[in-house]
Amino acid sequence: MTSNQDNPINIRIQLAFMWTSLMFCYIYCDYFELYTPDKISEIIEGTSMLNNPWKLFAASVVLAIPSLMIYLSISLSPRINRILNIGFGVFFALFLLLILTSLDFEWYKFYMLFAVIEIVLAALIARKAFLWKIPNA
């Protein structure tokens, strides 16, 4: 006999899927940015925002964090998992808020949309991890 009730989804899986959603938004936003005027020519000419190895490395570190959090949300112990999800959730919400407040270009309305979605997701990740009741071990 089947039940009409949904089974609760483990919080680890919820967090992993939330990080996955954030990553998809992050990647699509960067992809769509390639369609803005002069972006490709700036990349080819070396005048884009990531025009030196250290800036590119820093951007890679920032992008690697949510990518790794997809896996780490499933695999880490509950206590470390909770701390990292709260910390990185807050970090990304604030980081993306900073980016959002610096945008004022007509062509970057899409970027603003993605930034708002990513801020909400990052804040929800931090909130869900904060409210995660971990039994005493």
pLDDT given for residue 109 in this prediction:
86
Mean of per-residue pLDDT scores for the chain: 90
Alpha-carbon separation of residue 5 from 2, 11, 14, 124 (angstroms): 9, 18, 18, 24
Question: pTM of the full predicted structure?
Answer: 0.87
Q: Is residue 118 part of a domain?
A: yes
Residue 120: which domain range? 11-130
CA distance linking residue 14 with residue 81, whole number of Å: 12
Number of domains making up the chain:
1
Residue 5 binned pLDDT confidence (cut-offs 50, 70, 90):
confident
Q: Is residue 33 part of a domain?
A: yes
Residue 136 binned pLDDT confidence (cut-offs 50, 70, 90):
confident
| Res. 137: pLDDT tops 70 | no
- Cα–Cα–Cα angle for 80, 25, 57, rounded to 5 degrees: 65
pLDDT tens digits along 24-80 = 999 999 999 899 888 899 988 988 888 889 999 999 999 999 999 999 999 999 999
Q: Is residue 35 part of a domain?
A: yes
Q: Is residue 119 part of a domain?
A: yes
Q: Is residue 6 part of a domain?
A: no
Q: Is residue 106 part of a domain?
A: yes
Q: Is residue 135 part of a domain?
A: no
Q: Is residue 79 part of a domain?
A: yes
pLDDT tens digits along 71-119 = 999 999 999 999 999 999 999 999 999 988 877 677 788 888 999 999 9
Residue 6 binned pLDDT confidence (cut-offs 50, 70, 90):
confident
Q: Are the beta carbons of 50 and 90 closer than 8 angstroms?
A: no
